[in-house]
Structure formats: structure tokens, C-alpha cells
A and B are shown apart, each in its own frame.
Chain A
Amino acid sequence: MIHVENLVKTFGEVKAVDGVSFDVAKGEIFAFLGPNGAGKTTTIQMLTTLQRPTSGAMRLDGLDPVTNQLEARRTFGIVFQDPSLDSELTAYENMELHGVLYHVPRRVRTERIELLLKLFELWERKNSYVKTFSGGMKRRLEIARGLLHTPKILFLDEPTLGLDPQSRNQLWTHVKHLNETEGVTVFLTTHYMDEAERVSHRIAIIDHGKIVSVGTAQELKERTGEDSLEAAFLKLTGSTIRDERADAADQMRQMVRMWRR
């Protein structure tokens, strides 16, 4: 379902993604684990047509996201790592807009919006502006929105960042359910090892833009001779702390945050 071969992305001197290759089968849940700045998000951005790769080949359900952007976009849904809601619209309007953009028929749309907003306990606040929401509520709304249509491939880029255990549990239960009943292929990234181990069929560990190991959680543990995934992860990636590249958008967001105070 997802095929990536020798994918490279360079920003100036920096090689964010450096020759990554992997395959994800139909109906598989595949996790990408790696320290900050390892290239997880850049890989997702290239797969989802938001960035063009420097070199390498990619296929989503046989479609090339570089040359066949529109068809490729029809195959997936995504929950982004950073905010992507319109804060001047209400929660319901954000859902509605997404449903229209993804061609969800009106009747299904109305039903699913209600279902998902109730599932993530936002139904009571459906007519509030998103700018009045707390960080956790915004996150829940993003996830509810990402699940509104049923794509062939679902990208989840650190979806549980900033979520409470209840919402995390709801999310993974729902994702597993979608995967089992509708055969949705899931590509996720996370920093929580327990989540990766709980939901994913296979895990790839990525560091400095390269995949260092791929396999089931069990295989990774056996390969490194450790008894937890966390220990295996640290053994494979080392224990130094990484910094991410900050771009103009990040600087801007910081500035906006300053003004808001």
C-alpha cells in the first residue's frame, strides 16, 4: 500500500531524510519511531504531497505523490503533528469544512460529525469557536476531524502529543477498529513506546534520516537483546538529545505566542 525507495530530502546542507526505503502492506499498522529531527515528519510530508523529495521513489496505493498529486491525495487522510484548525470557526464548522473537502456525502457527514464529536467529548462545545478551546480539546478535534472520512491510508503524525490517557485510549481503540473492520492501512509516528507496541504490527526505528532497524516489537527486542522496546530504542539511537530544525514558520509561531501574552 505504501512503497518508499531510497527517499532523500535535503534542506541546504542538512540531509533530513537520507535514503529511506520501506514497504507497508495493505491493512498493516506501521509505526515510525525516532528522536526529534530524525526525519519522521519530513517523510510524512513527502508522502502526503506537502514537500517534494530531493530524490527517490514513493507510491501510495500505486500512485506517485510527486507526479500524480491529486489522485494520491484521494488515498489518504492525515492527523498533523502541529495545529491545522481554523480557530475563527466553530468546532462544527471545522468538521463540516473537512467533510466537504473530502467529499463525504451530506447525510453521512452529519451522522459522523455527531458520532465523532460525541466520542471525543466535544459535542457540547460544537458551536464554540476553536480559539476558545484548550490545547487538549484542539488536539481531540483534530483527531475527530482526521477520522471523519475513511481513507485507504491514515497518517498519524504524533497524534497523541498533549492528550490525556482517556483520549489516547479512545483514539487507539478507534484506529484499531477502523483497521480491523475497514482494512485501513495506518502509518503512525509517536514518542510513546507503549503505544507503538500496543497498536502497531511493525515498527521502524529512524535516526539521522536513516532507518536503523525494522521489525515487530518482539523482533526489535530480540535483535538488541533488551527486554523492553524503550531500551531497544535507546540502544539503537543512542542517548544524546537532538534538536529539530526551526524554520520561518516556527519562528513566526513563537512570535505570535509572544504577542498573545
Chain B
Amino acid sequence: MLLRLFLLRLLRRWHARVGFAAMLFFLILAVTGLMLNHGEGLGLDGRSVHAEWLARWYGIKSEPPRQVFRSGHHGLIAANGRWLLDGKISGEKLPQPVGLAEFADIFVVASDAALYVYRENGELIEKLGPGALPGSPVRAIGSSARGIVLRTASGIFASADALSWRPARQRSVHWSAPAALSTSERQAYEEALTPGVSVQQLLLDLHSGRFAGRYGPLVVDLLALLLAILSLTGAWLFLVPRMHRGRH
């Protein structure tokens, strides 16, 4: 009788202590688990977290921006798969641009395999993949009196609307060329162009413990063990007094 009481008190005390000590970790596991299960509904798919310390923690090499493409009214700075277009971030996982040109009320950013056609206000009108280009890869982009001009492996082509292309001549084309950024400009833009870590990946690493490095998963294993022990001790604390009362 005394031994059972002693055991019950000991268990209750340690059940509470272990539960309290592991509370923060269990909360992290529960919240990250819930978010992972409902990532789509929460709109987490495709989202990234951009922070220098996080990129460093993950060992992702951050390239500082080095050059800027400028046309009459627009400017583009690119680094780490991100574009700063007219001072605004424009999407993720974007290719390295080869130039920027504008004509009438549109402006176009070219990479070697795609064109991004924008309205004057920066809204994306259309992305043209290799199938929609008159030639590929794109080696340079420029503008002339007749429209946007592309220099590709298949020749030089011009278009006024980036829809239909016709062969063109190289004369009187103003080709887009990068200009070097000053040191102060690089520093100013570097933070905005920090590489990102996918939110899903971050949650997964927090949930599995990998975020903390090599020993993180072992800590999570230990927590799983603690959770199992808490379940058993909880069941014991719940059932034993009732069984005892039932006998009397």
C-alpha cells in the first residue's frame, strides 16, 4: 500500500516535470506538424523565407549583385535567382537575365531561354518559353525604332508586341548591356536579393530536428521516447487509482 502510494506520487511528480520540461519542444513539433499537414491550405507552397542568417545557417552561398541593366525607364538587378525590377522583388527561381529593353508601352527582360514581357507598371503580360521564341538561346536583347530586337543563335529578330517576330538587321539597334554597381549599391541591394529557404523545407527540418544539425534528429528521437513515456505514465496515473477503487 505504502509502496504503491510512493510510486504514484513519484510518477505524478516526474510526469509533471518531464511534461513541463518538454512542453516547448512538443509545441514546436505540434505546430510544425500541423503546418506541414495543411501547407497547401495555409498557402505555404512555393513560399520562401529570406534572411541572411538563415541562408548562412543552411550553407547557401549568397552572391552579391554585381551589375544592373537599365533601359530608359526601368532597371533590373539580379542575384541568387531573384530579380529586383524597378526596386520591387519579382518572383523566385528566376534565371540570370541577359538584358532589358523597352518599346512603346512594354518592356522585356530576356534570359537565354525565355522572355518576360511586362507592362509599363511592372505587371507581367506574358512569359515566353523557348517554343514561343524566334530562336534560342537568346544572346542579347535591344530595341530599335521597329520594336524589341533579339539576337539569337538563329539570327536577329524584331517584334513590336513580342508576339510575332520577323528577321531584322543589326543596324541602329541599341543593345542592352550591364553596368557595374558601386560598392554602396551592392550593399544596398544585397539584403533584398538574399537567397531564400523554402518554408516547407524549414518546417520539415524543424519538425525532424535536422534544423539543429547532426544531433537534432537524436533530440527529436529522445522527445518521441519522452512522449511515449508520458503516455504510459499518464495511463498509469489515470487507471491505477480507478482499478484500486474498483476492487474496494
A binds B: no
- B contact set with A: CB distance below 8 Å: none
